[in-house]
Amino acid sequence: MREPQTAIKRILDANLDRAREGLRIIEEWCRFGLDDRQLVAECKQMRQEIASFHSTEIRQARDTATDTGTTLSHPQEEQRSSIEHLLQANLCRVQEALRVLEEYGKLYNSEMGIAFKKMRYRVYILESRLLPQREQQFKDIQLYLVTSPSETLFATVEAALQGGLKLVQYRDKNTDDLIRLTNAEKLCQLCHQYGALFIMNDRADLAKAVNADGVHLGQQDIPIAIAREIIGQGKIVGRSTTNPQEMELAIAEGADYIGVGPVYETPTKIGKAAAGLEYVRYAVSHSPIPWFAIGGIDLSNINDVQEAGTQRVAVVRAIMQADDPTSVTQQFISLLQPK
């Protein structure tokens, strides 16, 4: 075991490098891709501030030859599907490094903890300026697929994406974490390949691990603020609600959207009484944020749900158990188009 102060200096050294490298990658796109002088200047300023803390003492603690982390990699680090994916990966890299610097910096130099906390929020703002399309894309989405366990999970989701689906939530309550992680990685990549958003159910940690676009929380899950802290600013956080009180609380906590339901009784929510169309009507006049009616909605009853006032629906079995998910998706999208 190494002497604690030496280990702390090595941690600081590695993350000072990591934060600067990530910012440089982002800066190059701001410079050559966006021609945005202001964003370039902001990235450069943060790199210089980071460098000011990278003292000779910290650098001298480096021992690359014995660093067990230099040989480790992950499949997600070996490919980038788009400029957005590249920027998001490096923004996350910088945010993670700054959080490490904030915490370990407190043990080395109190000024580091303060400085890197402030910088982390500057990077959140930078992220919102670089990737504003996620928020706008989300606002335009009217159909939301929530998956259920299936032997044809990937084929069904891809068929729906081929039908125009732009929002997928991976929901699997009972599978082991390692399998869920693998499935989430594949689904996230698949969604991004089709230009769709990917949401992880319940687990902010897994959402963070696979670079999901957000996380959806149930009533018994962690507070929205904590989920946002885990997955990062600029990501989507949703909450299930079954009554006006839960809706009001989710809105007050800062949810980006809510689920409204179950509209009809559904095996997805065993033992949960239907909230009914009355709750849908309540949401129409009381929810200032986007919301999706959910629970037993299919092509046979969607007209009733629409007449109650909904413009967005989330479905499970209607697509996951469809013989032709592409066609069913297209029918839903057509019915949900503004008249």
Residue bearing tokens 């993350």: 15
Residue 171 bears catalytic tag? yes
Contact 94, 22 (CB under 8 A): yes
* Nearest in space to 229 (alpha carbons), one of 111, 102, 133: 102
Dihedral, CA atoms, 286, 224, 305, 278, nearest 10 degrees? -50
Task: Name the catalytic one among 18, 235, 239, 269.
Answer: 269
66 phi, psi to nearest 5 deg: -105, 10
Contact 247, 254 (CB under 8 A): no
Q: Regarding beta strands 313-315 and 257-260, do their DSSP bridges make them parallel or antiparallel, or are they unpaired?
A: unpaired
Helix (H, G, I), strand (E, B) or coil at 237: strand
* Nearest in space to 257 (alpha carbons), one of 232, 209, 224: 224
Contact 37, 128 (CB under 8 A): no
Determine how many CB atoms are found less than 10 A away from the CB of residue 201.
23
Residue partners of 184: CB distance under 8 A and separation at least 6: 170, 198, 200, 206, 207, 209, 210, 212
Residue 150 bears catalytic tag? no
Q: Length of the chain, please?
A: 339
Task: Name the catalytic one among 9, 134, 240, 312.
Answer: 240
Residue 230, both tokens: 């885990």
Residue partners of 78: CB distance under 8 A and separation at least 6: none
Residue 269 bears catalytic tag? yes
Q: Provide the terminal-to-terminal Cα distance of the chain, rounded to the nearest Å.
A: 68
H helix or E strand, kind and range, residue 294: strand 291-294
* Nearest in space to 20 (alpha carbons), one of 46, 42, 40: 46
Residue partners of 106: CB distance under 8 A and separation at least 6: 112, 113
Task: Name the catalytic one among 171, 180, 203, 228.
Answer: 171
Task: Show which residues are catalytic.
Answer: 171, 240, 269
